[in-house]
Amino acid sequence: MAFAILVGSIIALIEKSGGIDGFIDFVLYKKNLVKSPRSALLLSYTIGILIFIESSITSLIAGAVGKPLCDKYNIPHAKLAFVCDSTSAPISSLIVLNGWGALLLGLVTTQITLGMISGNAVDILIDSIFYNFYAISALIVTFIAIWFNIDLGMMKQTQLPNITKKENNINPKSMYLMLLPIALLVSLVFVFLYITGDGDILKGSGSSSIFYTTLTTLIFTFFYYVFTKNMSIKVWSSTTLVGAKKLFPIALILLLAFAIGSVTVDLKTGLYLASLASENLSITFLAAVIFLLSSLMAFSTGTSWGTFSIMIPVAVPMAVAVDADVALCIGAVISGGVFGDHCSPISDTTIISSMASDCEVIEHVRTQLPYALISGTIALSFFIVYSYL
C-alpha cells in the first residue's frame, strides 16, 4: 500500500519536473526514434522486457514513459496498459534474477529438503523456466499485436485519449530529470534485495525492497529537484501530496484485494481443487490440469506469488506420484500463476498497469482478456503435447 502511494508521488514529481517532456523531445525530435504509434508502443514493450527486476516497477516505468507518447499518437490508454501488464509479470517470471526467483527457489528447495524430490534446486528451477509457456506466449502475442496493430474484442471500442494539443516546448527541460529517478528505481532494488537477503540477492525480500527503493527515490527527488532549482520546497511538497492523494484509492483497492485473497487462502480452495483433480488423473493431462488449477487460484486471489506458495507443494507430490516430469509441472504452476494473475481484476500488476497508463481497471481487464486467453490456450496446448511426448 505504501509503495502504491509513494509511486503516485514519484510520478507526479517527474511530470512536474518537465523531465518527461525533455525525454519526449529527445526521442521524437532530436533522435527521431519514435515515428509512429507502433514505435511508441514498442518503446514501452522494450522497457518492459529490459526492466525485469520487479513486475510492479516494470509496469510503472513502462506506463510513465509510454503515456505521453501514446497521447501524441492518439493511442488508447487501454492498449498501453495491455502492453505494460503483458510484459511485467511474464518477463519477471522468465528472468528470475529478482524477488520472483528468490521465492521460487525457496519453494523448490523446501521440496528437496522434505525429500519429495532430489537434485539441485537451481537446476530444477532453470529447467522449469523453459516450460513457462504462458509467459513466453504472452510476450510473443503482445509483440504481434503491436506490430500488426491487432485489436481484438473490446479493444476495438476503446476511446482515444482526450488530449488538448499543445505547442511544442521550444526549450524543453533535461530528460535526466526523468531518467535519473527511474535509474535509481531500477538499481536500488538490487541493493535492497542484497541488504534484506543478508548478502544474498536471491534471499532478499521483494516487497520490502521495492518499498525502500521508492522511499529512497522520493527523498532523492527532493534534493535533485530543489537543489537544481527545478522546483521550490513548497512546490515539491504540494506535488508529492497531490500525487499521493491521487493514488490513495488504488492503495485501498489493493488492501481489499489482499483481504479477498487471504480469505480464499484460509478456505484452502486451492488444496480442495487439487485433491479433486488428482483423482484418476492421466499423466498426459497432469501438467495441463495443474496449469488450469493455478490459473483459477491466481485469478481468484489476485496473486501469482500466493499461488506459487500453495500449488508447488501440491504439484510436486502429484508429479512424483505418477512419475511425471517435475520441472514441467513446476513450469505449469508458474505459467498458471502468471496467467490467472494477468486476467484478475484484483491483481496488483493489473491495478498498477492501469494506474500508470491512466486507464480504468475494468476497461483494462476487459480489453486485454482476449489476448491473455489466446496466450493461455497456446500454453495449455503445449503442456498437453509435452506431457504426451
76 in any annotated domain: yes
310 in any annotated domain: yes
Q: What is the mean pLDDT of residues 162-175?
A: 62
pLDDT the model gives residue 295:
94
pLDDT band at 4 (very low <50, low <70, confident <90, very high): low
pLDDT the model gives residue 263:
66
Helix (H) or strand (E) holding 243: helix 233-266
pLDDT the model gives residue 81:
93
220 in any annotated domain: yes
Is the pLDDT reported for residue 236 higher than 90? yes
DSSP state string for 286-341: HHHHHHHHHHHHHHHHS-HHHHHHHHHHHHHHHHHHTT--HHHHHHHHHHHHHHHH
pLDDT the model gives residue 373:
96
Q: Please enumerate in sequence order all residues whose Cβ is within 8 A of that of 190, keeping only pairs 6 or more positions apart, or say none.
A: 53, 201
Q: What is the mean pLDDT of residues 33-49?
A: 87
pLDDT the model gives residue 307:
84
164 in any annotated domain: no
Q: Please enumerate in sequence order all residues whose Cβ is within 8 A of that of 297, keeping only pairs 6 or more positions apart, or say none.
A: 264, 269, 270, 273, 306, 307, 310, 311, 336, 337, 340
145 in any annotated domain: yes
Alpha-carbon gap, residue 347 to 355, rounded angstroms: 12
Which of 160-174, 191-205, 343-357 ranks highest by mean pLDDT? 343-357
79 in any annotated domain: yes
pLDDT the model gives residue 208:
79
For 253-303, what is each residue's pLDDT tens digit? 556 655 655 665 577 655 565 566 555 667 788 899 899 989 998 998 888
Alpha-carbon gap, residue 216 to 386, rounded angstroms: 46
Q: State the pTM of this model.
A: 0.76
31 in any annotated domain: yes
pLDDT the model gives residue 216:
93
362 in any annotated domain: yes
Q: Give the range of the structural domain holding residue 282, as residue numbers without chain letter.
A: 2-159+169-388
Give 211: exposed, middle or buried? Use CB within 10 Å, 0-12, 13-18, 19+: middle
Give 7: exposed, middle or buried? Use CB within 10 Å, 0-12, 13-18, 19+: buried
pLDDT the model gives residue 314:
80
Distance of CA 297 to the CA centre of its chain: 18
Average pLDDT, the chain: 82
Is the pLDDT reported for residue 92 higher than 70? yes
Percent of the chain exceeding pLDDT 70 equals 86
pLDDT the model gives residue 27:
75
Alpha-carbon gap, residue 349 to 341, rounded angstroms: 8
pLDDT the model gives residue 260:
58
For 126-142, what is each residue's pLDDT tens digit? 899 999 999 999 999 99
C-alpha grid cell, residue 329: 509441472
Task: Domain count for the chain, please give it.
Answer: 1
Q: Which DSSP state fits 116?
A: S
Residues 333 and 312: beta-carbon distance below 8 Å: yes
